[in-house]
Chain A
């Protein structure tokens, strides 16, 4: 008769190479306690404000005016670049931001925990190599939160447009946070939360179908017909916001493109922050 204790070895942990690295590369979970975090951040900001008093802190900056370079710094005062001006701001040792002509930008705060700029007009190009969420750019309609990447952020009267050249960036505002991957774009406006990210090279019909869904919740069938495997990240973003029956269709389509974790179901796919949905997103990133 076999030893029943020997059978326990069949339950032993089975390593899956790369599993934890893939999960670590996925966008960090959003806080489950946004209020607590907001209060903590506010308290921290107040404490820092009291401690620093009126001291002016700035980041080193190189201004280029009519082709002539001069050294300066970006602080809490607005920098408004003229049509013939551009600026390159060095974000300590984590990267650089280039501000295009005709832009309005300032530094909100800088420190070991976070560097935060505000852009209210124009365009900036960021190239950052830092732990996720260390570099943030606020715009009037959303926050662009760096997750390790290079991107372009454009602010106009209509809203903010984020295009990611490498890595990924989170765009958050009005209760929605989307993760924009390399080669994708998302926009936000004063009246609406960030749109579902779409690949820049997706077909115009697919881009329009996603925009239609973001506007009024329709066009799910059209976008499913037009979706390519390269659009998997777009479909993943739809799962938490697609209502009831249609979620099954999006789930099925996405599962046909990228293998889903075994414990994932249509029902629990509505929580983008759940570990299993984060795992699926990591697989989507890995499949690109």
Chain B
């Protein structure tokens, strides 16, 4: 795994970590090297985390991340080294959906998220609950941007969406989210 620090011209201009998978780890993982895959997965972990919390309760995300990791490990031979992110994102969505089906929570989210004692976290969970009521097309993109801090370019690369789709989703999603939160329309994301 290679972590490259670059100066981001987008967003706020602060230093942003950009993940760039190493070719050696990709090839080794494809051949079944579990430790190489572990290094690779760490780079994609924020995206997997974001996809999971975009769809289901935060309380289950830790276990589900492991589930995604282990499921991917079992299916390494089917991994397309050019599309690892979209492949992991698909596994993450499926695992969360399976989990929700198992627990019959498709409609009602658990209440413990609202019971967080840390005020900032409680507020975050409330905003997240509103994001989860939004159309699927906006949900993941917003969470990856606002929670995980990924850039539009990174979101596109890691989820397989086109950069244009990400830009539109962020623009429209942010406008809808701010409306639902009763915030002024300014402060849109410029990417």
Interface residues of A (CB under 8 A from B): 3-5, 7-13, 15, 20-21, 23-25, 28-29, 131-132, 261-263, 275-276, 278-279
Contacts and interface: CB of A to CB of B under 8 A. Distances in A.
Given A13-B46, A29-B70, A276-B66, 10 more contacts: A5-B181, A7-B124, A8-B124, A9-B124, A10-B124, A20-B45, A23-B38, A23-B70, A29-B74, A131-B33
A278 B67 CA distance: 10
Contacts of B177: 5
Contacts of A8: 124, 127-128, 143, 146-147
B123 interface: yes
B63 interface: yes
B17 to A, nearest CB: 11
Contacts of A28: 73-74
Interface string B149-164: 1000000000000000
A25 B53 CA distance: 26
Nearest to A130: B32
A20 B69 contact: yes
Contacts of A279: 66
B118 A10 contact: yes
B121 interface: yes
**Could you tell me the dominant secondary structure of chain B's interface residues?**
helix
Interface residues of B, number: 42
A113 to B, nearest CB: 9
A132 B42 CA distance: 21
Given A4-B127, A7-B123, A8-B146, A13 B49 contact: yes
A25 B35 contact: yes
Contacts of A262: 62
Nearest to A273: B70
B11 to A, nearest CB: 12
Interface in B119-142: 120-121, 123-128
Contact of B69 (A7, A11, A23, A261): A23
A275 B74 CA distance: 13
A25 B126 CA distance: 37
Contacts of B127: 4-5, 7-8
B124 A24 contact: no
B171 interface: no
B46 A12 contact: yes
Interface in B48-62: 49-50, 53, 58, 62
Interface string B6-21: 0000000000000000
A12 B149 contact: yes
B167 interface: no
Contacts of A24: 34-35, 37-38, 69, 73
Contacts of A10: 118, 120-121, 124
A18 B23 CA distance: 21
B112 to A, nearest CB: 12
Contact of A5 (B63, B69, B73, B146): B146
B103 to A, nearest CB: 13
A244 B39 CA distance: 39
A28 to B, nearest CB: 7
Contacts of A131: 31-34
A15 B126 CA distance: 24
Contacts of A13: 45-46, 49-50, 148
Contacts of A7: 120-121, 123-124, 127
* 9 closest Cβ pairs, A-B complex: A275-B66, A13-B49, A20-B38, A24-B34, A24-B38, A7-B124, A131-B32, A13-B46, A7-B123
B160 to A, nearest CB: 19
15 contacts: A4-B183, A5-B127, A5-B177, A7-B124, A8-B143, A9-B147, A12-B46, A13-B49, A23-B66, A28-B74, A131-B31, A131-B32, A261-B62, A262-B62, A275-B69
Contact of B70 (A12, A261, A278): A278
